[in-house]
Amino acid sequence: MIRSLGRRRLVTGTLATAAVAAPFLQVRGAPLAFPSDPWTLGVASGAPTPDGVVLWTRLAPRPLEGGGMPGDTVEVDWQVAEDEGFARVAARGTARAAAASAHTVHVEVTGLRPARPYWYRFRAGPAVSPVGRTRTAPAPGARTDTLRLALASCQQYEHGYYAAYRDMAQREFDLVVHVGDYIYERSWGRNPVRHHGTGVPTTLDEFRTRYALYRLDPDLQAAHAAFPWLSTWDDHEVMDDYANDRSYTVRDAERFLKIRAAAYRAYWEHLPLPARARPNGPDATLYAHYRFGDAMDIVLLDDRQYRSPPACVAGGRPGSVASCDERTDERRTMLGAAQEAWFADRMRAASTRWTVVAQQTLVAELAGPAKDGERRYWMDGWDGYPNARRRLLETIASARPRNPLVLGGDRHAFFAADLARDPARPEGPVVATEFVGSSITSQGPDPAALQRAVAANPQVRFGRGDRRGYVSVELGVKRAAVGFEAVDDPTQRDSAVRRLATFAVEDGVAGVRRA
């Protein structure tokens, strides 16, 4: 098949073949030599707009030993072409890869045409990178009958191989949406198939090494090289269950914010993010809005950086506990006031068929069954912030964007849920439909406990925590088709991936339907 050959070449383009096929026209600067292949971490693209995209790479001949780059700043030429053979180059330029940014490269390409594929590559000295493929967004309002996205989250490296990404890279998507836990800071779980090999990162160099380890995975590289990504973070990019400047493991806020600054910086460096998301110390504006023709408005939220401390746990780990007055305090926030106001503006301005809210975790209430007469709430999720959740859903209900779809991750389980205007009153009208991806690899909750919780929360229409995978979403004219794509065996790199369940959301009708 010609198509699969094309994809294979995407990730295995070599210096020799690429250079012979279409050499870069310019040679600049002093001769540059690398001790070995500098493109060990692959190439990536992200933040697609109708006329541009962010291109990413990092020069790292020795990725697990600080990068191994000679010298300080290196000039990197880049090309974007309309064809895989680079016969029709649409844009080119030179970027600087500086030691201060771990020799990462972020190029914000502009001047491209909407809704079409492009191929890109980099060159530093004699070394030409593998070729990546990307796709620009359709022009605002342009008729877009189908838009396909893949939803990913939670990829604990030690828990399995990235068969989910291998499967994703072999299919056709316009976009990957990643909603967090791109790395994990610590080792946990049963029967690891591979090891981090280093301890919990707290410095910038240590976080960079963790990203390099994850990004060395060929299947993750393939998914980055095949599609543009939009991404937001959850807790494990910094520290388990942190909230704003609070962490139950590092109690000193000043020290924790230093770690958060290093973690945010390394995240920005290693993902194809635009310059506006670049952190300033421990702060970064990651929440963002994108529009794809007449098909999709998508907002990506950041529910970690600005949230109130976990309720009812007195600074301890926010587990599943009984409620208390703190949980239902009206002032508690998940998004912070500025992001809440921005979100309301975006919902009022949404003008496409599908309005996607990509956030970290499960929005639907999933309170544990009563134990000693009291229900238990997962204080790290929206159940720990019920008034913030009510405001989020009331904003959607009153702004009335078309077909709101909420996407999430974090829980290491597949969920499909009907979202009522107030989830504490699930009998009310459904205002949005929610789908939560399981995890690419991260081990899930106890299946029996999850089934009991799902049974006690009827608005959660589907819940499975025993399978890893991702979610495919095809936004059509009359309906959205949603597939839960499950990995047979995450301990096998070549594991098959099969459809576990299929749902449809009809235009104008909020709520989960099995298809």
Considering the complex, state which of residue 77 and residue 181 has its C-beta at the smaller distance from Fe ion: 181
Give yes or no for residue 152 binding Fe ion (CB under 5 A). no
Q: DSSP characters for 380-398? A: TSGGG-HHHHHHHHHHHHH
For position 164 contacting Fe ion by CB under 5 A, the verdict is no
Compare residues 144 and 442 and give the one whose CB is closer to Fe ion: 442
The answer to the question of residue 181 lying near Fe ion (CB under 5 A) is yes
Please identify which residue in 152, 154, 164, 432 interacts with Fe ion, judged by CB under 5 A. 154
The answer to whether 196 touches 210, Cβ cutoff 8 Å, is yes
Rounded distance, CA 80 to CA 512, Å? 41
Query: Residue 168: which of Fe ion, Ca ion, none does it interact with, CB under 5 to 8 A by kind?
Result: none
State the Cα–Cα distance between residues 119 and 10, nearest whole angstrom.
9
How many residues bind Ca ion (CB under 5 A)? The answer is: 4
Burial class (CB in 10 A: 0-12, 13-18, 19+), 51: middle
Applying CB under 5 A, which part among 123-131, 176-184, 203-211, 354-362 lies near Fe ion? 176-184
Per DSSP, 501 falls in state E
For 343, the 3-state DSSP assignment is helix
Closest approach of Fe ion to the CB of residue 215, in Å = 18
Please identify which residue in 237, 365, 410, 418 interacts with Ca ion, judged by CB under 5 A: 410
Residue 126: count other Cβ atoms within 10 Å of its Cβ. 12
Q: Quick check: 333 binds Fe ion (CB under 5 A)?
A: no
Chain residues 426-485 in contact with Fe ion, contact rule CB under 5 A: 442
Least distance to Ca ion, CB of residue 181, Å = 5
Q: Which residues, other chains included, contact 226 with Cβ-Cβ below 8 Å and sequence gap of 6+?
A: 7, 10, 132, 133, 168, 169, 173
234 forms part of the interface with Ca ion (CB under 5 A): yes
Q: How far is the CB of 130 from Ca ion (least distance, A)?
A: 31
Q: Is 167 in the site for Ca ion (CB under 5 A)?
A: no
C-alpha to C-alpha distance for 334 and 353, rounded to whole angstroms: 27
By beta-carbon proximity to Fe ion, the closer residue of 134 and 361 is 361
Give min distance, CB of 445 to Fe ion, in A.
11
Q: Which of residues 181-210 bind Ca ion (CB under 5 A)?
A: 181
Give the contacts of 463 (CB within 8 A, at least 6 positions apart): 366, 413, 414, 415, 450, 451, 453, 454
Place of tokens 């023709």: 293
Residues 386, 378: Cα–Cα separation, whole Å: 11
Segment contacting Fe ion (CB under 5 A): 66-74, 81-89, 179-187, 268-276?
179-187
Of 383, 45, 362, the closest CA to residue 224 belongs to 45
Q: Which stretch binds Ca ion (CB under 5 A): 162-170, 175-183, 309-317, 387-395?
A: 175-183
| Interaction between residue 241 and Fe ion (CB under 5 A) | no
Q: Which does 235 bind (CB under 5 to 8 A by kind): Ca ion, Fe ion, none?
A: Ca ion
Binding segment toward Fe ion, per CB under 5 A, in 62-70, 175-183, 349-357, 417-425: 175-183
Q: Give the residues lining the site for Ca ion (CB under 5 A).
A: 181, 234-235, 410
Q: Give the residues lining the site for Fe ion (CB under 5 A).
A: 154, 181, 442
